[in-house]
Chains A and B, each alone.
Chain A
């Protein structure tokens, strides 16, 4: 290897390292803090390398070993899980149907509808919070899981439609036709051939929809009030009292929020292998 190339490569590595560090450090800081007592986090001068490291924050959160903080983490967690999973499931299902229709059928106003869907994502969600609040309170949907589920489905559908449309487009129409000639109904052809081939897209749509619902804060903070429907991200704010913030507890809960998202991403990830459609048609 020529020295010049080697130098350049080293520089590229260093640059990458720096960027990665900049991206990861805040996350790592949150994770570290989750295992340290508040005292140490707030210490001045700062203690960079943790001295006391333990599960105290988590135990406090779940009331193990006497001390318990007054935040119903368990209810928040269940609310989050129910709302995120249900809304993801519904959004992916609607998105799949819509994406398939956009990819396969011609109909009047197709482009306009598609554009409309995309533009609806351009409106910042928070701008809708007041009208949404008023409508929801008339309908009695304030502080109910159903209320949030509807909002999240509406938020996610344009995106899931767009994503699955792209993936269904990549599946040649001949796949479905071949299956129909092989004896399938259109419905069977979809589930046996087109769906498995677009699975990667549907899985990615699912992950995105889940993460968006799971982490959403702005609208949830307006539309929820109590343990009936309050979700984890809103619950994080419970750690800030009038004059103090329990950083340690907050970080522990943040870790708790990250874990299911990570688990889900890992589970779904193996379906993300794209390129399954290659080889079925001419090379």
Chain B
């Protein structure tokens, strides 16, 4: 059983604290993705799990062992680096077998496990080449192969796809997912790409400035972002965020965007708001639907007309830039038709799927 538990883990470089007491419990065979903007402490956290970075405070456990003081080699983890870090003076075969050789496994075991890994990753024809003779994608595969031959307790990935071009990245992403289905092992995967996080993760950990902002499954984060940061980070395009204020009206509280524009507060949030509260109103681009291209919904709709300033066709959908309460928002048009810039279009906003965040703290008002 290889669970990974972080409790109150702190990292300091001299006086500078970069990871502030984070807690995280990763289940056996779970695929967890750490995601967040550059410099938020993802790599540092991963490297503390690997043992490449000392832990300044708190405790890390792998399985039932406290590993704080263990060197990397004693933790039985393997890691895929952003730049792959293949050994340039060894062939692919030697790269794959290196860890087993160090562990003094008999040659027959090494051959067998190397062949197995090569088979899984489709490297069998490249075994005698050196890393310099491989393409980026092949190097990436060798790096993964080197990680799996050891049958480690935990796989650690630090932005393994960021050096590949866009097309290969998508391909390798799928391959990593497939690999995880074949070789069921606990995975901690670092990326700053939310699409990668969404597609790969069982659970996503969103980090910012050394704190964990939210932990949850991809859909949980998408549907119920805990704060404006998560709302702006997950989903593509990010959630529309519009400044507004709560006002009391006869029928109950409303979200007032401008003097002439207000929306009823969705039923589930009615008890969470107070009058005159500054809020951020959030909604996804797909919940602002152009007329004639609405998705099926039982939600209450609010209709209005507005001009489109920019249209970005993406094939299956077109992104429309328009205004809502004088603030720029995006709408997604599915089954798109050509839209001229400056064209006035009717929109339907799905009111049941609105999100409200406290403007001061950024926190979601959801209970």
Binding site for B on A (CB under 8 A): 172, 174-175, 177-185, 188, 192-193, 196-197, 276-283
Contact = CB atoms under 8 A, between A and B. Distances in A.
Given A188-B102, A279-B133, A282-B136, A178 B88 contact: no
Contacts of A182: 73, 78, 98-99, 102, 146, 150
B84 A180 contact: no
Contacts of A197: 88-89
Nearest to A186: B71
B222 interface: no
23 contacts: A172-B83, A172-B85, A174-B85, A177-B52, A177-B85, A180-B52, A181-B72, A182-B73, A182-B146, A183-B102, A184-B73, A184-B102, A276-B89, A278-B88, A279-B132, A279-B139, A280-B85, A280-B87, A280-B88, A281-B83, A281-B85, A282-B163, A283-B139
Contact of B78 (A181, A185, A196, A279): A181
B83 A282 contact: yes
Contacts of A196: 89
Contacts of A283: 135-136, 139
Interface of B: 50-52, 71-73, 77-79, 81-89, 98-99, 102-103, 130-136, 139, 146, 150, 163
Contact of B83 (A174, A181, A192): A174
Nearest to B147: A181
Nearest to B79: A181
Contacts, number: 90
Q: Which of B50, B52, B72, B77 has the most C-beta atoms of chain A within 10 angstroms of its own C-beta? A: B72
B81 A178 contact: yes
Contacts of B78: 181-182
B286 to A, nearest CB: 36
Contacts of B150: 182-183
B147 to A, nearest CB: 9
A178 B144 CA distance: 12
Given A178-B81, A282-B139, A183 B73 contact: yes
Given A177-B52, A178-B81, A181-B50, A279 B86 contact: yes
